[in-house]
Amino acid sequence: MAKRIIFFSLWVGFIVYAFLLAPPDQPNTLSLILDLSTGKWEEINPLIVSLFNIMGIWPLIYSGVLFADGRSQRLPVWPFAIASFGVGAFALLPYLALRQPNGQFPGSKTWLIWILDSRWLGGAIALGTLALLGYGLGYGNGSDFVEQWQTSRFIHVMSLDFCLLALLFPALLGDDLARRGLDRRHPLWVLGWVPLLGPVAYLCCRPPLIATPDASTQLPKTDASSPVA
């Protein structure tokens, strides 16, 4: 119950801050989003380009644990995962508040979970992340980014969203380790606390899921001594 209250409080607080306390919206915000989305990056600070695209990588990182976690939950995970591509932590915080802790993976892998559980996907995410970090840190203008962070609601909230996604990942890590036969004493647990690069490394290094029998699909055993109709 305490975790549920914390996550819901973070969700409400983030919404209130984003719309009431963050810097004002700028007239060029829509055109900036369109240029970032369509690859027209010539006049945009590479740090902003890198951050915007990394915000599209975070949902992939989370999907690597969310869909396996959702197998044991009463609520469907896919609406939250899909929405996170557009609004990040705004979509994931309600799921974290409503989910139940569960370290098992019942049944067998679907094709989607097989892909999300693959180390090949983790490697692809790692390459994309490193490329974006290299581009942003190598060519970006730090002072311009700070100025835009202080004056633009879009840049300000997107930066805070990045930080919040980095802080929230360990909330799912313990159960994901348990689904792989590991516990929090394993060195992989530490990776979840390293912002961005830690979760990326975790997806590359973790062992595969261990499936457990799904009780809902098991047929009851027949008692040989009972009469058969």
**Digit-coded pLDDT (tens) for 10-45:** 999 999 999 999 999 889 999 999 999 999 999 999
What is the H or E stretch that residue 191 is in? Answer: helix 188-191
What is the pTM for the complete model shown?
A: 0.89
For residue 108, what pLDDT band results from cuts at 50, 70 and 90? confident
Closest CA to 159 of 196, 124, 202, 199: 196
For residue 197, what pLDDT band results from cuts at 50, 70 and 90? very high
Check whether 177 has a pLDDT greater than 80. Answer: yes
Closest CA to 91 of 103, 106, 78: 78
Distances 174 to 97, 106, 178 between C-alpha atoms, Å: 16, 17, 6
- Encoding tokens for residue 151? 């004056």
- Encoding tokens for residue 26? 């700028």
Residues 137-150 have a mean pLDDT of 95
Residues 190-202 have a mean pLDDT of 95
